[in-house]
Structure 1
Amino acid sequence: MKKQLMSSTILGALALVVSTISSAVPITDVQEYINNTPTEFFVIDDASKYDSPYYRESDQDWGWVHSGIVGSGFTSIILDISAFDVDFGLVDGELDMIDIYDGSNWVSFGNLNGSDDSWDFTSFDLSGYAWAEAQVNAGLQVRMDIDTLNEGWLVTLGRAALSVDGGDQVCVPTPGVPCVSVDVPEPTSIVLLSLGLVGLGLSRRRQFNK
């Protein structure tokens, strides 16, 4: 019985080592003004929210690509998009639709939420989609259809934060305010702990076999 217990301990520790190495550390990839490309229009700061080319209308749709996040077995994949002046919820309210590329097609994830003249985050949960992990690894592609109903609404985006396994940054929707890093477990420490458990198990197994 004791030998079986030692074997289970060793196997469990080895499994933890393997899973830690194969999985990513919690990461948040933030796309905003400081890493804009020529076709991206995240606003530089709150004071510029009504300025061109950031405050955009129905014929000014655009999209962006997140940096690839390497890993497997993500427990959660959340995309938070910060938008200004989304008049959603009114009669005939504003509809700014978000699509995400699944590797073959664009998938509609719904519209931005918000309120008049304010910055708000809208969260999109990708965790349950079979294709999501591969697209996060490759660099998630996102696009926005501004004012889908073509009713004269305008919107400004502040940032998009893509977080896996809870992420390693906390962001506010207001642009120009830096995200704050949070402490996450270091994979090296977890691996060393797991290897230590393996060594302890082997040592005790040798003692029992004497």
Structure 2
Amino acid sequence: MKTIIRRAVIGFSCLLSMSASATLITDVQEYNSNTATEYFVDVDSNKNNSPYYRNSSQDWEWVHNGIAGSFTSIILDISAFDVDSPSEEDDISIFDGNSWVSLGNLIGRDQEWDFTQFDLSTYAWATTQVNNGLRVKIDIDSGWLVTLGKSVLTVDDGNGNGGGGSTCVPTPGIPCTSTSVPEPSTLLIFSLGLVGLQARRKFLK
């Protein structure tokens, strides 16, 4: 019985550690947070309409809300419509504090909404820029048009700061849904349940 309890305590400690080091925080920039110079489209039906469906002379940038903390993972997902990969090269760049750094091109399909994911975790300066408010811009390829639906910045914060993770779809006008991280009390109840099951199995043998 002592061995069972010891194993349960170790398991619970591991779960707590996982919970503490995996606090996902998401910041979503979309139509609802547009400024005068931002052009995320409001709903799917406007995806081919001005000023959202933009060409190479209509490049623009946006800024994510600052997120405090130090991060093990920094992921940027950008939702775009009508990116004809690989012919169309719509470049995404972020500001590193001194200059713009290209992350690469959006990917997608003709007349479809798609997410393109960029991993910023390896950039030494990325955490500072996320703390300050990550600046992002699009350089639209000459001869092409593209519409953006949303920009989703997700970080894995090991400091237990507030916020919450979200699951998003690329189509505009559809709110992201929150994803919760289990609270320590939930993990404790789960661990005690495992103790009970293991003890019952042992005594029934």
TM-score range, shorter chain: 0.7 to 0.9
Task: Provide the C-alpha distance between the structure 2 equivalents of 1:132 and 1:25, rounded to a whole number of angstroms.
Answer: 18
* Match of residue 139 from structure 1: 133
* Match of residue 119 from structure 1: 113
* Match of residue 69 from structure 1: 67
Task: Provide the C-alpha distance between the structure 2 equivalents of 1:51 and 1:129, rounded to a whole number of angstroms.
Answer: 36
Q: Does 1:60 align with 2:54?
A: no
Task: Provide the C-alpha distance between the structure 1 equivalents of 2:49 and 2:30, rounded to a whole number of angstroms.
Answer: 16
Shift, 1:24, TM fit = 8.7
Give the one of 102, 112, 128 matched to 1:108.
102
* Match of residue 202 from structure 1: none
Answer whether contact 1:24 1:70 (CA < 8 A) is retained: no
Q: CA RMSD in A?
A: 2.3
* Match of residue 156 from structure 1: 147
Give the alignment of 1:6-85 within 5 angstroms.
Answer: 25-72=23-70, 74-85=71-82
* Match of residue 7 from structure 1: none
Residues 134-186 of structure 1: CA distance to partner in whole angstroms, max 9, x if unpaired? Answer: 10010000000011xx2x21000000000001960000000001101011145
Give the one of 179, 182, 185 matched to 1:182.
179
Structure 1: gaps (5+ residues): 1-12, 194-210
Residues 78-124 of structure 1: CA distance to partner in whole angstroms, max 9, x if unpaired? Answer: 000000000112xxx11100110011111011100001000000000
Task: Provide the C-alpha distance between the structure 2 equivalents of 1:70 and 1:185, rounded to a whole number of angstroms.
Answer: 21
Q: Does 1:130 align with 2:124?
A: yes
Number of equivalenced pairs: 166
1:50 is aligned with what amino acid? N
1:136 is aligned with what amino acid? V
* Match of residue 98 from structure 1: 92
Aligned residue for 2:138, secondary structure, equals strand
% identical equivalent positions? 65
Shift, 1:25, TM fit = 3.4
Task: Provide the C-alpha distance between the structure 1 equivalents of 2:144 and 2:41, rounded to a whole number of angstroms.
Answer: 17
Displaced runs of 4 or more, over 3 A: none
* Match of residue 198 from structure 2: none
Answer whether contact 1:168 1:183 (CA < 8 A) is retained: yes
Specify which structure has the higher proportion of strand.
2
Residues 28-53 of structure 1: CA distance to partner in whole angstroms, max 9, x if unpaired? Answer: 10000001000000000100000100
Aligned residue for 2:78, secondary structure, equals strand
Aligned residue for 2:23, secondary structure, equals coil
Structure 2: gaps (5+ residues): 1-12, 158-163, 189-205
- TM-score normalized by the length of structure 1: 0.73
Give the alignment of 1:166-205 within 5 angstroms.
Answer: 168-186=165-183, 189=184
